[in-house]
Amino acid sequence: MDKIDLFQSLKDEPLELSLPDIKSEVNDEEEDNNERNTKETGDDQDDDDDLSSSIPTTSNNVFDEAFRRKRKLDKQNRKELEEEEREKMLVLVSNFTEEQLDRYEMYRRAAFPKAPVKRLMQTITGCSVSQNVVIAMSGIAKVFVGEVVEEALDVAEGWGDSGPIQPKHLREAVRRLKSRNIVSVGKNNQNVKF
């Protein structure tokens, strides 16, 4: 039953064959292979040792072929989606004003330094942290800072303040994010100071 579920998940269209149908199809293919081998060798004997070494299991071939087709389609779909995303991004960036383009370039270049992030994570966890985890945490931190700054800009605009954001805007942004449960309040529900 597991192979049927695997086969069904690998096909785009619904599975129309039942288990007995697949078994009969597999048996038919095995018989065809046996007949071909008999004609090629000229032997009418059933020598299982010779056949088992030269013929792969047909039931696995059906599932392997379906799996290969599904992976090929997934790769093609992924490439098409990536190309589509690239084109959309190109259109978006080409329509940026000069100021928006500068801000986007700064956003793309901005990153948290890996060494301090790794040191902080090792201090908190008490164990060594792999480079991939450090890269992921740096990305998460960048997204978090982006959300706080975006909210702080909304706060400044709502309060009628102009110019760069100030610490009071950041504190209010974090307070609002906490109220929406976007920011954790810390260990044992203690407030985190910003």
Please, are residues 1 and 19 in contact by the beta-carbon 8 Å criterion? yes
Among the ranges given (4-18, 151-165, 166-180), the one the predictor scored with the smallest mean pLDDT: 4-18
Residue 97 falls in which region: left (phi positive, over 0), alpha (psi -120 to 50) or beta? beta
Sign of CA dihedral 179, 180, 183, 185: positive
Once rounded to an integer, what is the mean pLDDT over residues 146-153? 94
88-118 tens-digit pLDDT: 988 988 898 999 999 889 988 999 999 999 9
Highest mean pLDDT among 23-37, 46-60, 66-80: 66-80
- Residue 179 scores a pLDDT above 60: yes
Query: How far out from the chain centre does Cα 5 lie?
Result: 23
Once rounded to an integer, what is the mean pLDDT over residues 122-149? 94
Percent of the chain with pLDDT over 90: 40
73 contacts: CB under 8 Å, gap ≥ 6: 12
Q: What is the pLDDT of residue 38?
A: 56
How does residue 32 score in pLDDT terms, banded at 50, 70 and 90?
Answer: low
Please, are residues 149 and 172 in contact by the beta-carbon 8 Å criterion? no
N-terminal to C-terminal alpha carbon distance within the chain? 55
CA distances 4 to 23, 64, 82, 107, Å, are 11, 12, 31, 48
What's the rounded Cα separation, in Å, for the pair 28 and 46? 16
Q: What is the pLDDT of residue 172?
A: 96
What's the rounded Cα separation, in Å, for the pair 39 and 33? 10
Q: Which two tokens stand for residue 168?
A: 């009071």
Mean pLDDT of the chain: 76
